[in-house]
Structure 1
Amino acid sequence: MHETTNHRSRFWRTVPAFAAGTLLVGALTACGATEAPAASTLPPSTPTSAPAPHAAVADPLLRMISNGNHKLAFHVTPGNLPAIVLDAGGGADSSYWKNLVPVIARETGSEIITYDRAGMGASDEMPGPWKVEEAVSDLETGLKELGATKDVVLVSHSLAGEVATYFVNKNPHWITGAVLVDASLPNLYTDDVVSALDAANQAQAAELGKQPSTKETRQLLALVSNYGPMHRAYHNVTWPAEVPATVIVSAKTPFDTPGEAQLWRDAQAQFAGAAPNRRLVVAENSSHEIPVDRPDVVAKAVNDMAKKLG
Structure 2
Amino acid sequence: MKIMKWTKRILMALFLIIIVLLITGFAFEKISRARAEKIKPDGEFAEVENHKMHYLKEGTGGPTVVFETAFDPAGHLQWYHIQKDLPKTYTTFSYDRSGILWSERGTNPKTGEKIAEELHTLLEKAGAPKPYILVGHSFGGMLTRFFVKKYPQDVAGVILVDSQYPADEKFLSLEMHKMVNQGLPGGFLKFANTFGAARLMFKNMFPLGEQYKYQNSLMPALLYKSADATLEEQDHMKSIKKEAAVISSFGSIPLYVITAGDKTRYDTFIKEPKLKNEMLGAWDKMQKDLLNLSTDSKQIVVPTSGHYINQDQPKVVEETVNEMVKKVKD
TM-score greater than 0.5 by the shorter chain:
yes
Match of 1:96 in 2: 78
Match of 1:183 in 2: 163
Match of 1:64 in 2: 45
- 2:41 matches 1:76: no
Listed one character per residue, the Cα deviations across residues 69-89 of structure 1 (whole Å, up to 9, x for unaligned) are 211011111322121112221
Partner Cα separation in structure 1 for residue 104 and residue 124 of structure 2: 19
Match of 2:96 in 1: 116
Match of 1:241 in 2: 251
Matching residue's letter, 1:97: W
Partner Cα separation in structure 1 for residue 173 and residue 109 of structure 2: 23
Task: Tell me the percent identity.
Answer: 23
Match of 1:232 in 2: 242
| Further displaced range: 124-133 or 154-163 | 124-133
Matches within 5 A, 1:1-310: 62-91=43-72, 92-106=74-88, 109-126=89-106, 130-148=110-128, 150-190=130-170, 196=178, 200-201=182-183, 204-213=185-194, 214-252=224-262, 255=266, 256=270, 257-273=276-292, 275-310=294-329
- How many angstroms does 1:126 deviate by? 4.2
Contact conserved, 2:249 with 2:294, CA < 8 A, in 1? no
Partner Cα separation in structure 1 for residue 59 and residue 236 of structure 2: 38
Partner Cα separation in structure 2 for residue 76 and residue 116 of structure 1: 12
CA RMSD between the two structures: 2.8
Structure 2 counterpart SS, 1:81:
coil
- How many angstroms does 1:184 deviate by? 1.7
Pick closer, same or farther for the CA change 1:207–1:145 going to 2, 3 Å: same
Pick closer, same or farther for the CA change 1:229–1:187 going to 2, 3 Å: closer
**Structure 1: 5+ residue stretches without partners:** 1-59
Contact conserved, 2:91 with 2:129, CA < 8 A, in 1? no
Listed one character per residue, the Cα deviations across residues 203-227 of structure 1 (whole Å, up to 9, x for unaligned) are 8335445544443431232022233
- How many angstroms does 1:128 deviate by? 8.3
Partner Cα separation in structure 2 for residue 292 and residue 142 of structure 1: 26
TM-score normalized with structure 1 length:
0.71
- How many angstroms does 1:249 deviate by? 0.8
- How many angstroms does 1:197 deviate by? 6.0
- How many angstroms does 1:297 deviate by? 0.8
Structure 1 counterpart SS, 2:158:
strand
Contact conserved, 2:250 with 2:294, CA < 8 A, in 1? no
Partner Cα separation in structure 2 for residue 100 and residue 229 of structure 1: 31
Partner Cα separation in structure 2 for residue 274 and residue 117 of structure 1: 25
Contact conserved, 1:178 with 1:245, CA < 8 A, in 2? yes
Matching residue's letter, 1:308: K
Partner Cα separation in structure 2 for residue 229 and residue 300 of structure 1: 34
Higher RCO (CA 8 Å, separation ≥ 6 residues): 1
Contact conserved, 1:179 with 1:247, CA < 8 A, in 2? yes
Listed one character per residue, the Cα deviations across residues 105-158 of structure 1 (whole Å, up to 9, x for unaligned) are 25xx11111111112121112468632222112111111113336321111111
Pick closer, same or farther for the CA change 1:83–1:274 going to 2, 3 Å: closer
User: How many residues get paired?
Assistant: 248
Matching residue's letter, 2:253: V
Partner Cα separation in structure 2 for residue 234 and residue 222 of structure 1: 18
Match of 1:6 in 2: none
Structure 1 counterpart SS, 2:43:
strand
Contact conserved, 1:290 with 1:298, CA < 8 A, in 2? yes
Match of 2:210 in 1: none
Partner Cα separation in structure 2 for residue 199 and residue 103 of structure 1: 34
TM-score normalized with structure 2 length:
0.67
